[in-house]
Structure 1
Amino acid sequence: MSSNIRIQRICQQCGQEFTARTTVTQYCGDNCAKRAYKARKKASKVEASNRETDRMRNKPVEEIKAKEFLTIRDTALLINCSRQTVYNLIKSNVLPAVQLSDRKTIVKRSDIDKLFQLTPTTPIPEQPTPPPFDQEACYTLKQVQQRYRISEKALYELIRRQSIPQYRRGIHVFVPKKEIDVLLGPIL
């Protein structure tokens, strides 16, 4: 049984207009149908290859997640950092590890999990409050230089060696008058 239907359609492959004899026809001819079939097959092979590549890329991390004891390289791969960072964490006692030999260090997987817990294990130390600042009882560095005829470099070196406190207010640096007067003696 043949159909007497004649419908104007656009080919899904080449984009040309053609007369179709059924309502489900997508291509203008056999060549376009074959090209579309090849394109679908190629796209499915590319997609399968991409899935395989992703699986291969994630395979080492999945294998590492299954291990109980990890090497330094595995630990670095798992937490996405360099090996040197892992060594620094071990040296600073943030990450416990066991050194089996000169060339083999092992980290327990549960210790890595503890490293990333949300509650901090060490309290954050409070910063000491600076002593109150009285601008009347201080010199600026420029005033000290002019008053005692001392160079800027010598003054900075003296302040550093004697651990004289410095107070910063805007662009000015202040030092206590009492400590400078005792240190530098009478005015010249």
Structure 2
Amino acid sequence: MAIKIPMNKIQKQCAVCGQPFVPKTVDSVYCSKTCGNAAYREKKRQKRKEEEKQAVVAKIPDDRLYISVPEAIALFGVAKSTLYRLIRQKRIPAINLGARLVRIDRAAIEEMFPIRQTPLKKEKPTTKLYSLEPQDCYTIGEIAKKFGISDSTVYKHIRKYSIPTRQIGNYVYAPKTEIDNLYNQ
């Protein structure tokens, strides 16, 4: 069954289910409330999992020579299958004290996987501060005249590149620095 979507609408792909959809806002990432709720639950689950991992790491004494597999997973961020594969290959010395009692030599694993002090996080871009006073901005008409394009193209570019605007009366202002950077490239 083919989904018909008008050609003049911008399509996005849902971050959860992967289906194409027409977003209601520029920031829309999910096609429906169901997908939004699923993403929210997954985010909460990941946060809870990270908190549990931090609790395990906090309980490990620094002077212990041998650590368990779950402690190594939490401390070094290595997959369980990777640890057991390295143990089988004798690349990491380990002692088997019984069922589910494998202990790994901490010095050897620290040598192979250095401890990260902070988890890897995506850096959020710093927000730019603009002066949206009329003397520091162009009006839409000025931009169109200066660069020889139509008003509708200017509005389209402002939305596409998330350039901040300010409306005073009948005039819409956009920062000169951003507009010059956009059209002088």
TM-score, with length taken from structure 1:
0.29
TM-score, with length taken from structure 2:
0.29
Quick check: which one's helix share is greater?
1
